[in-house]
Structure 1
Amino acid sequence: MEKKLTILGAGSWGTALAILAARNGCQTMLWGHNPEHVQALQQTRENRRYLLSHAFPSNLQITDQLSEAGAFSDLLLVSVPSHAFKTSLQQIKPYLNDGCKIAWASKGFNPSDGCLLHEIVADLFGEKTPAAILSGPSFAKEVAADLPTAITIASTQNEFAAELAEILHSSRFRTYTSTDVIGVEVGGAVKNVLAIAAGIADGLGFGANTRAALITRGLNEIIRLGIKLGGKQETFMGLAGLGDLVLTCTDDQSRNRRFGIALGKGENREQAMLKIGQEIEGFSAAKETYLLAQKLGLEMPITEQTYKVLYEGLAPQIAVENLLARNLKAES
């Protein structure tokens, strides 16, 4: 039976995954919400706005019609910003085929209540619907350029994880499977917050020592929250935890890191966002993670100081000083 895949979201990551799946021989349809952008994709056969110079395979179709996208396949992969995740699923739901399987590459929490994205899927489609998250250290441009990459696909249904892994796996794109959906989701959401923090430190002119400390203590915060929510510790030491955290905190392809650097150099929030021109997932994730930690009674000092810089106008230099002034304690 011919493999078919619908991808919701024509940003850089959705486009890269669509190119990957199509290269692997999968009949693929990419949906975008902006008719003008979709028309440009159809005419040029590349995403010049977000992923320049990567031509679309002939078996990659583009549409702005939810009805067409929903009917195309029994496997839907959502790659929209987390704040649009629930709305996007609600809008496409009437057009999906019966028994459609739902996967997502979105990273973050639901902004209205801080819930994890798998909870939205279960609420909209039922607990028994095959569901999976795709996450790990992966920049869209490198995937589109066919550079070696490894990611994790997590699902409580092993058969679905294996099916999705087979569609995406290639000689240059390695897929590992996991059953820890919660752990993979938490790692993917909170690492963006820590990337902003690492960027701020670099923007202030601090060195590699500071960055290494932020990454290491930041990982501790991810583990603390993830385990509290039901994730497994070993997940946070893998691709979707430590791997993704290192990538996004250390490379300037990361939008969240670049956003933090701009703040550290004295630019205001609006200037930094305008300059980057794409979604900064860590901005909303900082608020959602901070509020969730407060609700659960968890200590997440890097997340807290990042939140205060972003939402309370705290000067980045003061935020760093606050972290350094904390009481001495054992590392673990």
Structure 2
Amino acid sequence: MKIGIAGGGAFGTALSVALALDGNDVRLWARSEAAVKQMCETRQNGKLPDVLLPDRVSVSSDIAPLLGCDTILLATPAQTLPEFLGTHAEALSGKTLIAACKGIDLKRMTGPASTIADLVPSATPAMLTGPSFAADIARGLPTALTLACADEEHGETLQNALSTATLRIYRTTDTVGAELGGALKNVMAIAAGIAMGARLGESARAALITRGFPEMQRLALALGAQPETLSGLSGLGDLVLTCTSEQSRNYRFGSALGRGADFDQSTTVEGAATARAVQLLAAKLGLDMPICNVVADLTTGKTDVSTALNALLSRPLKEE
């Protein structure tokens, strides 16, 4: 099978490695000519040291080979996905487009699969999400993901096509639940990182994870998701992983906030923009989202860590 992957970052590259090793021909597109040159010359991506690109992976900054594929994985940042889709909407018409990014677009207030459906209505949109780190996928470590596609028959076809010996894919038709689970867990990972960075301890982190999960469910259900989706890999599974590992960019970002330390501005932190989108959605829908609101205020400089933590700890006691 010929598969296109848009995005030459760590996750897009990791997916290209896993799918190529399973016998697929992969067209990996990256915007940066310098990154493409490095990958072509060394067969390595600097973000994934010690991982070699298989021969079946071809890398290019020319968009044409990618657009020649009928099935394309979109591993671009969630906030730049609308621009990519809008620019290439005509060429992407009628294709299967699988979002492999997590977040809520600040301008459109939609998740990746919904954004695909809006901007390329003739395409078949899907979502690949769940508890995973690029380094694990690239190194062939066992990973389980969710493939969400509203078209059940097409979803089953994609499930079989994208599953490998080490990449186990489960499917659902609930694209809304899958995209929101993947987006909202990033906000909670920032909160968990803040707690650990501020040295509040493991118990505080556990409390944030536990109380953050109902917040995720609250918004997802209000937007039409199925409750069981949030309890699966794309919700609870991803939440646990990203709130407890230094491999998570969102967790590391939160940890830096908690310590009052600088953070690499070139690193994509989807949870920061998602927190701001959630704050707006929650206000519109009349939902109580205290953790998301605190993260939004912190990432926009409206409050400081000490004030934010005091606000959470002083909330009224109530029945669980």
TM-score by length of 1: 0.93
Asked if 1 retains the 8 angstrom alpha-carbon contact of 2:193 and 2:243, the reply is yes
User: How do 1:207-226 and structure 2 match up within 5 A?
Assistant: 207-226=201-220
Name the SS for the 1:273 alignment partner: coil
Aligned length: 320
CA–CA distance in structure 1, aligned partners of residues 214 and 67 of structure 2: 40
Q: Which runs of 5+ in 2 are unaligned?
A: none
1:264·1:316 contact (CA, 8 Å) conserved in 2? Answer: yes
Q: Secondary structure at the match of 1:77?
A: strand
CA distance in 2, matches of 1:46, 1:161: 31
Aligned to 1:298: 287
Partner secondary structure for residue 182 of structure 2: helix
**Does the 8 Å CA contact 1:70/1:93 hold for their aligned counterparts?**
no
What runs of 5+ residues in structure 1 fail to find an aligned partner?
A: none
Aligned residue in 1 for 2:179:
185
Aligned partners of 1:165, 1:53: CA distance in 2, in Å? 28
Structure 1 residue 119, shift from structure 2 partner = 2.7
Name the structure 1 match of 2:81. Answer: 85
**Do the aligned residues in 1 keep the contact of 2:245 with 2:251 (CA within 8 Å)?**
yes
Q: Check if 1:326 corresponds to 2:315.
A: yes
Structure 2 CA distance, aligned partners of 1:80 and 1:302? 27
In terms of mean alpha carbon deviation, does 310-319 or 31-40 score higher?
310-319
Q: 2:61 aligns with which of 59, 64, 75?
A: 64
8 Å Cα contact 1:225-1:293 kept in structure 2: yes
Residues 250-269 of structure 1 correspond to what in structure 2 (within 5 A)? 250-267=244-261
Identity, in percent, stands at: 39
CA distance, structure 1, for counterparts of residue 10 and residue 87 of structure 2: 22
Query: Which amino acid counterpart does residue 212 of structure 2 have in structure 1?
Result: G
Looking at structure 2, the residues matched to 123 and 233 of structure 1 have their Cα atoms a distance apart, in angstroms, of 24
- The 5 Å alignment of 1:1-332 reads 3-48=1-46, 50-71=47-68, 73-96=69-92, 99-126=94-121, 129-267=123-261, 271-274=262-265, 277-331=266-320
- Decide whether the 8 Å contact of 1:19 with 1:57 is kept in 2: yes
The C-alpha deviation readout for 1:203-254, integer Å capped at 9, x for no partner, is: 1101111111100110000000000000011111110000000000000000
User: Is residue 20–residue 168 contact of structure 1 (8 Å, CA) maintained in 2?
Assistant: no
Q: Tell me if structure 2 keeps the 8 A contact 1:66–1:95.
A: no
Q: Contact 2:17–2:54 at 8 Å: present in 1 too?
A: yes
Is the deviation greater in 98-107 or in 7-16? 98-107
Q: Are 2:117 and 2:124, in contact at CA under 8 Å, matched by a contact in 1?
A: no
Q: Could you tell me whether the CA contact under 8 Å between 1:18 and 1:28 is conserved in 2?
A: yes
- Residue 174 of structure 1 aligns to a residue whose secondary structure is strand
Secondary structure of the residue aligned to 2:88 is: helix
Aligned CA-pair RMSD: 1.3
